[in-house]
Chain A
Amino acid sequence: MPELMYREALNQALAEEMERDANVFLIGEEVGRYNGAFKVSQGLLDRFGSARIIDAPISELGFAGMSAGAAMVGLRPVVEMMTWNFAILAMDQIVNNAAKLRHMSGGQLRCPIVFRGPGGAGGRLSSQHSQALEANYAHFPGLKVIAPATPADAKGLLKSAIRDENPVIMFEGERLYAVKGEVPEGEHIVPIGKADVKREGTDVTLITWSRMYYFCMEAAEALAKEGISVEVLDLRTLRPLDEEAILASVRKTNRAVICEEGWALAGIGASVVDLIQSKAFDDLDAPVARVTGLDVNMSYAANLENATQPDAPKIIAAVKKVLYREGA
């Protein structure tokens, strides 16, 4: 199987879906002649032309809403947000229009649209450019939210998102674009709503998604050397949550740690904890632990930036806590 970078996997998904369905177009800042701020759309303008690879002005709300309007009458827009930090300006169109058109129209309308772009911390970009905002969108009925960690999942989920009849919010990892992995060629589909056990284990379940997946895998490897068997569950889809997969894994290991890059309060992990304690309380051998970003804005200084985010040592400490080992 060919090895591709995460950005190349996304590029492949876009190209294949545009080839398959002429209703699909890509719009965003710098997606065309610049080939994408993160080079996800490399080469697509030459292949598909300016009617389908559209360089938008810096008007996040404007082009998000314009694309939702196009989706209302049957086109299938893919809207690239340069980063999700800037999509905050477009929140009204995404949330008040795209997510609600079907409901407000009593089922008369559909809005098949994908909003995608990088999320999470960049490298030393400070507070306005380093935010993991998944929880904001997962809050809204009418949206689906996906956040793949691996190149193969990135391709498969983007293809599903483009074919979905609903608005889909796709968080890519800003720090994941250069990550390499095996990616199946051609028709490779990852269904929305299905989590994936990326590593089997018996002692504790680590629940995560996107970039934090890599820290969890690092922690799992290190813990294996100490004889602790960790199962890593990559959620991949945050709305709807794959409740069955979460509960099945917790029922097997009886312990869980959730790791998310975003803030703790009203975070996705809070909902996962709620799910576990309400549906699998009797299976738990310890309270569920959470590893999250600190409850502060992101700093520029290297040491502060690092301290703000989860990492493998923090995850290891949380795992040991739920196992009642070492100073827990």
Chain B
Amino acid sequence: MNICGYYPESINEGEGLRAALFISGCRHYCKGCFSPATWNFLYGEPFTPEREQEIIRDIAGNPLLSGVSILGGDPFFSAAEVSAFLDRLREAAGAISAWIYSGYTFEELTRDAKSPEYGLLSRCQVLVDGRYVDELRDPSLLYRGSSNQRLIDIPASLSQRGIVEWRPTFSF
């Protein structure tokens, strides 16, 4: 697995200050994608155990973070590896919240409860879902690009077997 970006602190990819990790590789090929270079699974740098440790240490040692955000590419094309990363992160840093971005919808990701995709989804708290649709682009949207994309509260949606949208803790 390659990663194509890491921001130790960001306010643009989810609520609070979050570490943002970008996983290389995507097969959605959305028209108007802002970073088509990241479609390539070999783009960026290899996610070596050393690099992973560095990032885990970084996140565990930052008292200001509200959590981690995982983006891409689309992390669900590397679901098993990303799940393993989250497990190791939580082993070191405790119960840390995870947001995850995908071109797949919540419905697509929950079709098979035994799939690695489902496994990754269930490890996260908020899903930003759906392909980017250029015609629905709206720069005023919170944490996403086009209006078809949703912010989904994963634990609530899984337990209620239906979509529960995520609500901000503070609404300015």
Q: Do A and B come from one complex?
A: no
The interface of chain B, by Cβ under 8 A from chain A, is none
